[in-house]
Amino acid sequence: FANHCPQYFSNNAADYLVITVDDQGSGFEVTRNTFGLTFAGIAALYMVIDVAWILAVWSAACMGTPTEPMGRDEYLRPLLIFKIFAVNIFPILLLVFGVLQIAATRKDNYGCFEETPVYYPDKGAMYALFSILLVTYALELLIWPTIITNKVIRY
């Protein structure tokens, strides 16, 4: 049981890891709940790639002059295509992963089954930051359809 469940305290499990046991298959399979570590790792990797992409765009945008910007197109187009098709996979993955994790966490009364949780995991500051990240990723993904729609309407 998780530490927000009353069963956690009744078992005096302060020194144990929170694990999930699957006894439906052949034998027992013990897995650790690594959602936070996985989400933070993918988010950190995305942030590093996105910062590198921003620096590359900034470097390419500095080429030429305001009256003669034609030299920068050959560098900016591949960077924009890379952002649209390769880098945007990370926020999509993080958004889907986060929403699925929230749905899975709320099943069975936050994993406490029939007992009322001592506290709700989605009421704290970390959950608020997690929610802000999910909204930020969703808004960032909505920028590209907006740009494409704007281009289609103009031409």
- Cα dihedral value 61, 65, 68, 74, nearest 10: -30
Q: What mean pLDDT comes out for the span 91-115?
A: 83
Q: 122 near 130, Cβ under 8 Å?
A: no
Q: What is the CA 109 to chain-centroid distance, rounded?
A: 23
- The pLDDT of residue 13 is 46
- The contacts found for 74-80 with CB under 8 angstroms, 24 or more apart, are 79/53
**pLDDT exceeds cutoff 70 at 29:** no
Q: 110 near 5, Cβ under 8 Å?
A: yes
Q: What is the pLDDT of residues 7-20, one digit of tens each?
A: 666 655 455 555 55
- The pLDDT of residue 116 is 79
Tell me if the pTM is above 0.75.
no
